[in-house]
Amino acid sequence: MLEKVAYIKGLLQGLKLSEEDPYRELFENIVEVLDDMAASISDMEDNITELDEYMGEIDEDLEAVENYLDEEYEEDFDEEEDDYYAIVCPTCGEEFSVDDEVAELGKINCPNCGESLEFDLSDLDCGCNCDQCGEEEKE
């Protein structure tokens, strides 16, 4: 853009307008404004390039942090796996999950409609040798 403005300046000088020409001052001011705008745009482009490089560095750093946290989370998750129970609200039909801690309370409000739901984990008889029902596998 700076080159184009310089070309326009050259064209204006090539016109050799006299000092008395009413358009000379107008054209010179227009070219001056164009020159200022082109310089500002050039500065902004430089700033954008610099910010883009900086954002790339931040992105790489963030990716390293995410990878680290993912590894830590996987290790934590492997150590302790919570059981989740799917619950369907009989009032509104909303399906949601609760973990062992909430399920042991035996009571929860539906997050959708607020209906008070009660349940008893001792009713779970899955027929296998698991920690949930405490019975041996049935044949």
pLDDT values of the chain reduced to their tens digit, one per residue, 139 residues: 889 988 988 888 888 888 888 888 889 999 999 999 999 999 999 999 999 999 999 999 999 999 999 887 776 665 556 678 888 899 999 998 888 888 788 888 999 999 998 877 665 555 555 555 555 544 4
Residue 114 within a domain: yes
Question: pTM, whole model, 2 decimals?
Answer: 0.42
**74 and 90, same domain (yes or no):** no
Containing structural domain, residue 14 = 2-79
Where residue 109 sits, what CATH number does that domain have?
Answer: 2.20.70
Q: How far is CA 31 from CA 25, 79, 112, in A?
A: 10, 71, 65
CA distance 62 to 55: 10
Q: How far is CA 60 from CA 47, 50, 79, 84, 86, in A?
A: 20, 16, 29, 35, 38
Residue 129 within a domain: no
Secondary structure element (H or E) that encloses residue 87, with its range: strand 84-88
**43 and 71, same domain (yes or no):** yes
Are the C-beta atoms of 91 and 115 separated by less than 8 Å?
Answer: yes
Question: Structurally, how many domains does the chain consist of?
Answer: 2
**75 and 104, same domain (yes or no):** no
